[in-house]
Structure 1
Amino acid sequence: MNALEVSGLKKSYGDFSLDVSFALEQGKITGFIGRNGAGKTTTIKSLLGFVHPDAGEIRFFSMPFAENEMKIKSRLGVVLGGVNYYAQKRLSAVAAVTSRFYPEWDDSLYRKYMRLFSLDESKRISELSAGMKVKFSLALALSHSADLLILDEPTSGLDPVSRDELLDIFISLSQDEGKTVFCSTHITSDLDRCADNIIYLKQGRIAENEPLCTLLQKYSVVRFSADNAPNGAELIGVRREKDGMSALVRNSELPAGVESAPAGLEDIMLHIEREDETK
């Protein structure tokens, strides 16, 4: 079963046009990547009803969004990186206000996640670190039994240790509690560690949409000097490096005897973004 199905979602702004179709597998972590301006934010705003698409259908939990908006939103948890509440409000006060918007709010769940994330509800928002603010947003999102978490740059601005702690939480929510996680981020190394599936958006279109392990197995990186480029394979997105050049190649086209290295998610994105420049 899919937690989300998007069919023919279209939105145009001036010279930019978005046209995407995809699904989120229930209980899995899906990474949503692409450079600035690719359409990630427009997609997320369309999913949440903040932007009205020009065309397309959005179904959460097999229900059309337009006809079931309130029911669906009660099962969604939205976490935004860099989130700010009233700085002098205590966490307990913010939680009390938030709970009024969700009929399914469960105070025992709220306290469970506050303990799990080591948060003290007597603290003021101004006393929280950036990582603690994201954890608090997660606690609020999960306290009304959200089945699908939509995360927009949740680890942005966090130090490596705080980011790693949050990734552990996302993995636990997916694997231990069956939550579906949709995570938009520029930090591809986070997705290398935690994602099951990847949706890669380029210029308003989906360039890749498949399990992370399958995507990584499709490509390798070759490095070469400017006058010794390998023959027999399409070189995708040639980049200049300190000691020569690099390019992405499809493993199905990799010539015998050519030295290569496994491609990470960042390698794939950086080289594919340069693909048009090298054609």
Structure 2
Amino acid sequence: MAKVAFLGLGVMGFPMAGHLAARGHAVTVWNRTAAKAEAWVGQHSGQRAATAAEAASGADFVLACVGNDDDLRQVCLGATGAFAGMAPGAIFVDHTTVSAQVTRELSALAAEKGLGFVDAPVSGGQAGAENGVLSVMCGGSAADYAAAEPVIAAYARICRRLGESGAGQLAKMCNQIAIAGLVQGLAESLHFAEKAGLEAGALVEVISQGAAGSWQMANRAQTMAENRFDFGFAVDWMRKDLGICLATANETGASLPVTALVDQFYKDVQKLGGGRWDTSSLIARVRALG
């Protein structure tokens, strides 16, 4: 068992930190809004800290799940940041979805301080975090990954190293690119079924067993049919992620025409007031068009 700090207790981080405590790790949590850290301590075995540096002090592993590039920099750097509290040999594991650029920047700064760094964005949403079955895609040195993987296993169905620093974030971009097209296709399929007079449940039961089947269909088709969009991963966050994908595509020369189009469709959902709806809400836009 390890001494672990967890920074960021949102819809993902709160249950992820809980799984670490349930596995017997000694967990200290920190959150920008202290009330969330207090709530976590009230439900789990562990303690809270006043700053990220205090939480990281003496920890073998410091794990973070925050919002974006700027949030991650703030959590890592400065007198109250995690790097200030970490001892040489400790490993920072970042579960935030951020750019590969900031990952490489912070990984280099960590190395200067004798710290390990693993970028480890996750997929599986709020339900995956709560049930401890996330997919975790990692970048970093083989040694840092090997040390961190048994800790990450507390909330992972699968965890893999894809390469050096930044590879995990690039893999997460691939994940979001794939999801964008799938959800739009599913939204159009269900809308077509509605217009054609087919019952959504019976339709999905049949086509999900064939080549059209996907995680999105199995987990979101029924709720999309019922106009329920409250499953944690918000459109606002998806647009942040797709922005990272499109910016990186410009740098690498990759062509992402469908991703760029679906990003604009999510912009339309925001205009409908759905910024906090989950990503399956693309069907609301299709319905609004008639």
Shorter-normalised TM range: 0.3 to 0.5
Find the structure with the greater CA-based Rg.
1
TM-score w.r.t. the length of structure 2 is: 0.32
Higher relative contact order (CA 8 A, sep 6+): 1
TM-score w.r.t. the length of structure 1 is: 0.33
